[in-house]
Chain A
């Protein structure tokens, strides 16, 4: 035991003195500090997870304990292989200490080092909570319990597991490199496994199999609300306990196997090759008469450069580390590709632009590690191996030594990129997609990834050149990376200040890089010449010889840089200045540059100056006519338009506010009207009518708009008007009347910093003053529209209404549209080079305008449209227009949006979904149906501007889509959607930063109005019957469809629902809309047996209950007595199941508590499931299903 203790102490003492200990401790400290200090950046206001509450503490430790496996690998690997690498084993193995003791001592010592380093996480996290930027309400009191919990349950087991496994591995493979390879393989396997199991149905399996307990912890706390996260520690029971015990056992048995069977002495057998005897017959030492002499310099420089570059490149690319990095890249990429992102887990076709982004994603963090590690290796290699005195004394120019290393480093970056492209192409081929688009790979990867990485490589090398040793260099580089992340917060937001960076650029299939290309090239040139200057500085300061300090080297630059170098440097700096000037001219002179803060300031200013006009009576726009000219090639739009204004109030109107988008230049003329006050900076004027507009009187407002794009912008890029795929709505293009409440800042801290009180939120549900306005804006109500859009002759322009005429005049193509019936004053104009697919269905023309190459799902969209028109028409009343136009637009936004008879649909969704696998969720159908349903919910009735408004648009549209899917494909198929919807709702409320509102009063929370709203209405049609629910909805439509003065609220919806409801349904309506009711069903047991008379009988024990969480937290249990489905199934509902898998569904009365049911079936069922179609919001739907066990 004494020996063990001293071995332990030796290991500990030895390792904590190594620079690696210092560096890793610092990294962990920094990581947890910044994770905590920056945790509040994403937060809004109100109740939220505190930065140092139990949940936050556990998460920081948990995540870092996984990442820490790399440091554990380093320390235990070093312990396991050190004696061999330092050729100490001859001394060590001859000592009389038993192997077991030696191994255990080393392992425990190294493990203790890891733990010691890991304590930095706690210190960093605890300190990070005091970052002054963190709002007081996000900082809880310091509590010791979470730390104890996390060390006992997470940190110690994880470190022990890692240490044992990696130490054993290093012992068995006997090399650091081998151990690292295994570690990386494990890490990748872990990542891929986590992704593959990240599916609602597989979570309990994942919870068990995750050796770090991450999945188990998430499983235990996934649906916790913020309040719970701030107070509770996860109970160590169930999957979490099982997981911890399982993996501790795995580690313990591995350790005992190692101690029992490992024989160190056998390792020697295959030790290093003994060097051959080198004495041989000695030839005469006579040199040839004609000796080769060094040639003159010019010619040899190129040869030297080639030779150095070849050597450097083989040194880097040929090293095992590169192999590991390539594997890591490949696996990170593959893991990302297999993860199945996109809506509802449905994958997209593997388009080249997406794979290019995946490659960039896989490399984004890795490349910083590569650049930091390889720059250090490369700059210090000669000095480290000791060959520098040979190399440095040769007549090689510094530039040759430096540039060859730089190029080798670049080769590594490019090499990893090529590996990525290789994997991507294999993936594309395997997915049956062979349109590889090499030019897209080349363009996007070189411009968005390679060039910036190459510039950073130059900097990383320079840092190593001036640094006294490589660890300091790596730390300085890490400092640079962190600094570059926080520069915007320090006020240096403009990319002119941010080395190697440039504004965001988005590649779109429709529009290529288009308007992003010019700034991209300009910034690359700007940073490129700067990097070139750094190159000259780098080789000037190149560390040549020994003991030559930085100052001496700086002094020597007049020799090492020389005249030509100085000239290059001067030219680079001149070009840097010139490009900088050019960029500044574009971003700050031709365009207004506003920092992110300045934009917020602007919005605060807007509110301060104009809020007073919010409730002023306004004239209504009754008709819009406009000539819109779109110039895609110069990204310009001009408008000459008219509004017919009418006073529909009871009093004369003497003044009103007129405003427009800051990108637009506007003139206007109004009879008897003048601009009494101009708010230049706010793009608004107060118009005073010298002769007030009397009630019911009308007046014409004439205006012109010029929206130009000159040069390029730094931020707030105009992605609306582009070369191909212009998509702009009237609020962005035309004049607006009245105050725009959407400009108001909502974040409490943003407001406080600008001296504004907390945001008031939406108007209260009962604020009747807002019933006369829609939620889309003060000037959004029904208008007649007559618009002529012209565009380039190669493009098609689309606006709402009937196309009256289309003609060509020179290079311009004109389209004249007019609406047959009023539409909401919220419409779009689009222009692009589309392929069009048109069908006529019951007098409605359905047209899909799409990018010619995105034709995969067009037929499916048309089918969904046809089904929607039929089903919604039958259930809710007729479709109001003669057209449905679905129009693809570039991926600058990723939504589909419903305007009157026009549905702009992003190229990022729907068009490129890969629906070949029948088991995928066909969201193309559901999204199309949802948008079509908005033609009723949103365009036949528009919600009033109060709380709950989005229920009348989004919830009803989502519900309608569900019903169409159920109508067409049955409830078993619909369940696939509902499972995702339920999960999203529960996660949404878990991440809620405010108090969760009840459905009736929701304020634009998507998880409430889409997911909860859809689920509640779907359950309601089951409770009260779809017929009666739809009768209520028809009544709502009939009451408001033609009314222009008053808009409906959720109260109007509920009144009609209640009118149709029986008492049980009325109670359910109240629970669904006015409370937050969370159910929890579970099957406790399911035992079946064959009946003698034939058929089967299954005894089921069910637990049921529900809680009212309206007041927050887990809620209070409330009595339950409801009719709930209990299904007998052939397949698990998450399988996913099909209609054939459903044997029988019995409606059973369930009350709270445990109850027994007896079910009968002619067919032998595999599973019993309570609420198999997810008609209730269940806290944990995974335990609703159980496999039937058979007696006898």
Chain B
């Protein structure tokens, strides 16, 4: 897993990129730039999009999923212009939006079958196999006759995953997919994504760093509409190696320490705050070198972007 991830970490000018996002910007009528000159080249495999709420993740995802048009810039999938030929891209697209609803009074099976038809699965027998398989995979088979509108949050999310995978899409865009899933479900989902990721682009947006760390060969961090870091998680983490320091801090001093510009995060260890700072040398006595992980990279990015 690690070896694969390292090999996938490459510059975004890579020639075998399937999805090329070039200088995409998006402005809404009211408000600031939602996407600011975003460029990414994404090869087959799992790609993580990490960012805080409101960073523009969903806007980017919706743009890639043909549901929005960029104000400027272009997106190509497999050489096809997503904005000009949305229809072509949609044929290879699986999309799980961050939030979705369903028709009332329609069972999970029927709705999935209906969406399968819309995805172009016209052969009845094949479609049944596909729908059954996905219902099994997402552990919804037993509830297939129930109306999706009566599903709990987790079940509904699994239904969303099932529909996104209909028709073996080559571009899968999943927006906050593990929200509302319990740990077991989340694991199963991760396994599934990893299994699927061989010859397709799977774009996963999340604000949970662990998701990305576990799964993605490459990651981009999006802050206020801009890509601030991109690359293989390992190489991003490497950049912090030797520069990360941590110290246990009494609660009374926490406020003062947290205002230090080098401070990136405060974690808890057995209920005690432990601050982490990025600096070329130990900021102070009492700081010990720490082993960086992706979360540190993420928080460091957020901090430096401010």
Is A285 touching B93 in the complex (CB atoms < 8 A)?
Answer: no
Q: Which of B108-151 contact A (CB under 8 A)?
A: 114-123, 126-127, 129-130, 133-134, 136-137, 139, 142-143, 146, 150-151
The 3 closest A-B pairs by CB, nearest first: A386-B101, A294-B120, A545-B67
Task: Tally chain A residues at the interface, Cβ within 8 Å.
Answer: 49
**Alpha-carbon separation in the docked complex, A444 to B105 (Å):** 37
**CB distance B137 to A299 under 8 Å?**
no
Indicate whether A273 reaches chain B with its CB closer than 8 angstroms. yes
How long is the Cα–Cα vector from A559 to B100 in the complex, in angstroms?
26
Tell me, in angstroms, the Cα distance from A556 to B168 when the chains sit together.
28
Is residue B87 contacting chain A, with contact meaning CB distance below 8 A? Answer: yes
List residues of chain A with CB within 8 A of the CB of B136: 283
Within 8 Å by CB of B115, from A288, A293, A385, A390, lies: A390
A559 to chain B, nearest CB (A): 7
A-B contact pairs, 18 of them (CB 8 A): A273-B150, A278-B152, A282-B139, A285-B192, A292-B126, A292-B127, A293-B168, A294-B167, A297-B87, A381-B103, A385-B101, A385-B102, A385-B104, A386-B101, A389-B67, A390-B97, A395-B120, A556-B69
Q: Which residues of chain A are near B127, meaning CB under 8 Å? A: 292
Q: Name A's interface SS.
A: loop
Q: Specify the chain B residue showing the minimal Cβ separation from A283.
A: B136
Please give, as numbers and ranges, the residues of chain A lying within 8 Å of B212 by CB-CB distance. Answer: none
Knowing A282-B184, A292-B126, A299-B122, the reply to whether A390 touches B103 (Cβ < 8 A) is: no
- Which residues of B (60-95) have their CB < 8 Å from a CB of A? 62, 65-69, 84-87, 90-93, 95
A874 within 8 A of partner (CB): no
Tell me if A252 is interfacial: C-beta within 8 Å of chain B: no
Contact B118 A295 (CB under 8 A): no
Q: Which residue of A is nearest B64, CB measured? A: A393
Are B151 and A387 in touch, CB under 8 angstroms?
no
Would you call B152 and A393 a contact (CB within 8 A)? no
A304 vs B66: C-alpha distance when bound (angstroms): 19
A-chain residues with CB within 8 Å of residue B5 when the two chains form the complex: none
Across the interface, which residues of A come within 8 angstroms of B133, CB to CB? 287-288
Structural contact, B126 and A304, CB atoms closer than 8 A: no
Which of A307-324 touch B at CB < 8 Å? Answer: 307-308, 311, 315, 318
Residue A279 at the chain B interface, CB threshold 8 Å: yes
> In whole angstroms, what is the CA distance A299 to B91 when docked?
14
On whether the beta carbons of A393 and B95 are closer than 8 Å, the reply is yes
A94 within 8 A of B: no
Residues of A within 8 A of B146 (CB): 276
Contact B117 A275 (CB under 8 A): no
Q: Per-position contact with B for A266-302: 1 when CB-CB < 8 Å, else 0?
A: 0000000101101110110111100111110101100
Q: Does B163 contact A (CB under 8 A)?
A: yes
Q: Which of B179-237 contact A (CB under 8 A)?
A: 182, 184, 188, 191-192, 195-196
Residue B154 CB within 8 A of the other chain: yes
> From residue B69, how far is it (CB to closest CB) to chain A in Å?
6
The segment from A517-525, A546-554, A1050-1058 found at the interface with B is A546-554
Residues of chain B contacted by A315 (CB below 8 angstroms): 103
A-side contacts of B91, CB under 8 Å = 294, 297, 395
Q: Which residue of B lies closest to A285 (CB)?
A: B192
Tell me the bound Cα distance from A381 to B102 in angstroms: 10
Given that A385-B102, A546-B62 are known contacts, is A304 also in contact with B117, CB under 8 Å in the complex? yes
Q: Which of A386, A392, A397, A559 contacts B99 (CB 8 A)?
A: A386
* Distance to closest chain B CB from A1089 (angstroms): 71
The answer to whether B90 and A291 have CB atoms under 8 Å apart is: no
Contact A303 B182 (CB under 8 A): no
Query: Does A391 touch B at the CB level, under 8 Å?
Result: yes
Specify which chain A residues have a CB less than 8 angstroms from the CB of B126 in the assembled complex.
292
> Given that A291-B168, A387-B102, A395-B91 are known contacts, is A280 also in contact with B67, CB under 8 Å in the complex?
no
Q: Does A396 contact B (CB under 8 A)?
A: yes
B90 and A394 contacting across the interface, CB-CB below 8 Å: yes
Residues of A within 8 A of B274 (CB): none
**Contact across chains for B120 and A297 when beta carbons are under 8 A apart:** yes
Give the docked Cα–Cα distance between A157 and B184 (Å).
62
B303 → A minimal CB distance (Å): 31
Within 8 A of A (CB), among B22-71: 28-29, 62, 65-69
Give A contacts to B, CB under 8 Å.
273, 275-276, 278-280, 282-283, 285-288, 291-295, 297, 299-300, 303-304, 307-308, 311, 315, 318, 381, 385-387, 389-397, 544-549, 552, 556, 559
Contact status A295-B168, CB under 8 Å: no
Q: Are A278 and B155 in contact (CB under 8 A)?
A: yes
Beta-carbon nearest neighbor of B126 in chain A: A292
- In the bound complex, CA of A556 to CA of B66 (Å): 12
What residues of chain A lie closer than 8 Å to B84, measured between beta carbons? 559
Count of interface residues, chain B, beta-carbon cutoff 8 Å: 65
Question: Shortest beta-carbon distance, B63 to chain A, in Å?
Answer: 9
Once the chains bind, are A295 and B93 in contact (CB under 8 Å)? no
Contacts of A304 in B (CB 8 A): 117-118, 120
Q: CB < 8 Å: which of A273, A299, A395 contacts B90? A: A395
Interface string of B150-162 (1 = CB under 8 A from A): 1110110000100
Name B's A-contacting residues (CB within 8 A).
Answer: 28-29, 62, 65-69, 84-87, 90-93, 95, 97, 99-106, 114-123, 126-127, 129-130, 133-134, 136-137, 139, 142-143, 146, 150-152, 154-155, 160, 163, 165, 167-168, 182, 184, 188, 191-192, 195-196
CA distance A386 to B121 in the complex (A): 23
Q: Are A552 and B118 in contact (CB under 8 A)?
A: no
Chain B residues closer than 8 Å to A297, beta-carbon distance: 87, 91, 120
Contact A293-B69, Cβ < 8 Å, known A311-B114, A385-B104, A395-B91: no
A203 to chain B, nearest CB (A): 48
Contact A390/B163 with A285-B195, A292-B123 known, Cβ cut-off 8 Å: yes
The answer to whether A280 and B123 touch across the interface, beta carbons within 8 angstroms, is: no
Report whether B129 and A288 are in contact in the complex, using a CB–CB cutoff of 8 Å. Answer: yes
**B66 engages A303 (CB within 8 Å):** no
B97 lies within 8 A of A545 (CB)? no
Residues of B contacting A392 with CB < 8 Å? 66-67
CB distance from A307 to the nearest CB of B (A): 4
Given contacts A294-B121, A297-B120, contact A545 B66 (CB under 8 A): yes
Q: How far is the CA of A1094 from the CA of B256 in the complex (A)?
A: 120
Contact A395:B100 (CB < 8 A) given known A278-B152, A291-B168, A295-B121: no
Of chain B, the residue at the smallest CB distance from A549 is B29
Contact B139 A283 (CB under 8 A): yes
Q: How far is B95's CA from A392's CA once the two chains are assembled, in angstroms?
A: 10
Q: Which of B68, B92, B106, B163 contacts A545 (CB 8 A)?
A: B68
A275 / chain B contacts, CB cutoff of 8 Å: 150-152, 155
Known contacts A297-B87, A299-B122, A385-B104; 13 further A-B pairs (Cβ under 8 A): A285-B188, A287-B134, A292-B129, A300-B122, A311-B103, A385-B103, A386-B101, A390-B95, A393-B65, A395-B93, A395-B118, A547-B28, A548-B68
Q: Of A276, A390, A393, which one neighbours B66 at CB under 8 angstroms?
A: A393
Q: In the complex the two chains form, is A397's CB within 8 Å of B87's CB?
A: yes
- Interface pair A394/B115, CB less than 8 Å apart: yes
Nearest-Cβ distance from residue B105 to partner chain A, whole angstroms: 7
> Is A292's CB under 8 angstroms from B167's CB?
yes
Supposing A278-B143, A307-B118, A395-B119 touch, asked if A292 and B130 sit within 8 A by C-beta, the answer is yes
Q: How many whole Å from B230's CB to the nearest CB in chain A? A: 25
Measured in the bound complex, the distance between the Cα atoms of B137 and A448 in whole Å is: 55
* Cβ contacts under 8 Å, A559 to chain B: 84-86
The one of A285, A293, A307, A544 that contacts B137, using a Cβ cutoff of 8 Å: A285
- Looking at the complex, which one of A278, A292, A556 makes contact with B154 (CB distance below 8 Å)? A278
Chain A neighbourhood of B102, CB < 8 A: 385-387
Evaluate contact between A387 and B122: CB separation under 8 angstroms: no
Q: Point out the residues of chain B lying under 8 angstroms from A285, CB to CB.
A: 137, 188, 191-192, 195
Contact A291 B115 (CB under 8 A): no
Contact assessment for B119 and A294 in the assembled complex, using a CB-CB cutoff below 8 Å:
yes
Residues of B within 8 A of A385 (CB): 101-104
A275 to B127, CA, bound (A): 28
Q: How far is the CB of B245 from chain A (nearest CB, A)?
A: 41
Whether B90 contacts A393 by the Cβ 8 Å rule is yes
Q: Report whether A300 and B67 are in contact in the complex, using a CB–CB cutoff of 8 Å.
A: no
